[in-house]
Copies of this chain bind each other. A is one copy, B any other.
Amino acid sequence: MRNHPVSINDIARALGVSASTVSRALRDHPDINAETRQRVHAYAREVNYRPNALAVGLKHHRTFTLGIIVPEIVHHFFSSIISGIENIAYGKGYRVMMCQSNEDHEREQLNLQALIDHRVDGLLVSPSKTTADDRHFRWALNAQVPLVFFDRFLESVPSDRVVTDDLQGARIVTTHMIRRGCRRILHLAATQQLMVGRERCQGYLQALEDHGIEASDELILLCDTPYKVEAARDRILQLAPGIDGIFCVNDFSAVAVIKLLQEAGYQIPGQIAVTGFGDDPIASIVQPRLTTIEQKGYEMGQEAARLLLARIENQETEADYQTKIFPVTLKVRDSA
């Protein structure tokens, strides 16, 4: 007893014309008599006609829908990117379907699959940390679905990319710490699987080298979540007396380590300076306020959407893949 939505055929029947006439009238086809057009439009809006996106998509092989996959929506950085994407997409008449992978490889595959099954016109994705192989992405590529990576990407998958200048960011913030007098700087790093993690670590190492400070494996800990910071508590407290700064791969670890050190009686930044990366809202709430690297999430999202739409609307021109590197800004606050 479901109230079936009105279709073009219903309108045609009601008005005593053919379905094709209705279809044309609705799209303001020039051939159609002005009066017929009026009648169709009037009736359509009277009965609240809405085209069935499924049928249109099936017919056109085009859905005006973009698929987004992010690791976790909760992160402010990712939600800013999403807002940026939506901003551009809506302006051009596209809708978005978004999914989260929860940093899970399998979930990412499932999502990608589902989006392609739904015939999205293009994909915007930031791969999960646990994404080991690239089969699903190659499959998408093979299915000719335009793909743009943002923030994170798989090097083995040729595609457009929109990323932060992680290397420079890490270098700048580490240099800032060195200028403030730090000499023994611990780095809480991300897994080196993704480029982001490696670049931030590289930037840190380069800054040390720039200033003739010797790096040490001991001073690099894989610790990119508050949870892992807690798990590494003993190790960190053991290192603490011998260090004067910590550069964390993201703001969440930074906040966690600040808390941990404060509980252990350390003065931040007095005894140990701490910096993060990302400029999450918590960075300006934690005490001391966190010195960190600002990333342009919203703008990155806009750019990613622009690149994708350009690919979609120019499928024939196989332009070279581009990598847009977004510059970063050092936000000096109180923690370093």
A residues in contact (CB < 8 Å) with B: 1-5, 48, 50-55, 57-58, 61, 63, 65, 72-74, 76, 79-80, 82-83, 86, 90, 95-100, 102, 110-111, 113-114, 116-119, 139, 142-144, 255, 281-282, 285-287, 315-316
- The answer on a CB contact under 8 Å between B100 and A95 is no
Taken together as a complex, chains A and B put the C-alpha atoms of A95 and B68 apart, in Å, by 13
- The answer on a CB contact under 8 Å between A79 and B83 is no
- The answer on a CB contact under 8 Å between B117 and A52 is yes
- Taking CB atoms, residues of chain B closer than 8 Å to A142 are 3
CB distance from A71 to the nearest CB of B (A): 12
Taken together as a complex, chains A and B put the C-alpha atoms of A96 and B286 apart, in Å, by 35
- The answer on a CB contact under 8 Å between B315 and A118 is no
- The answer on a CB contact under 8 Å between A3 and B144 is yes
CB distance from A301 to the nearest CB of B (A): 12
- Taking CB atoms, residues of chain B closer than 8 Å to A143 are 3, 5
Q: Are A53 and B119 also in contact (CB < 8 A) when A73-B82, A95-B114, A142-B3 are?
A: yes
Taken together as a complex, chains A and B put the C-alpha atoms of A316 and B119 apart, in Å, by 31
CB distance from A38 to the nearest CB of B (A): 23
- Taking CB atoms, residues of chain B closer than 8 Å to A282 are 281-282, 285
Taken together as a complex, chains A and B put the C-alpha atoms of A207 and B269 apart, in Å, by 43
- Taking CB atoms, residues of chain B closer than 8 Å to A111 are 95
CB distance from A298 to the nearest CB of B (A): 11
- The answer on a CB contact under 8 Å between A315 and B95 is no
Q: Which residue of B lies closest to A256 (CB)?
A: B285
CB distance from A89 to the nearest CB of B (A): 11
Taken together as a complex, chains A and B put the C-alpha atoms of A111 and B96 apart, in Å, by 10
Q: Which residue of B lies closest to A96 (CB)?
A: B99
- Taking CB atoms, residues of chain B closer than 8 Å to A53 are 114, 117-119
**Which one, B2, B4, B117, B144, contacts A50 given CB within 8 A?**
B117
- The answer on a CB contact under 8 Å between B51 and A54 is no
- Taking CB atoms, residues of chain B closer than 8 Å to A286 are 285-287
Taken together as a complex, chains A and B put the C-alpha atoms of A1 and B318 apart, in Å, by 11
The 3 nearest A-B residue pairs measured at CB: A287-B287, A53-B117, A74-B79
- Taking CB atoms, residues of chain B closer than 8 Å to A73 are 73, 79, 82-83
- Taking CB atoms, residues of chain B closer than 8 Å to A95 are 97, 99, 111, 114, 118
**Which one, B48, B65, B116, contacts A139 given CB within 8 A?**
B48
- Taking CB atoms, residues of chain B closer than 8 Å to A113 are 50
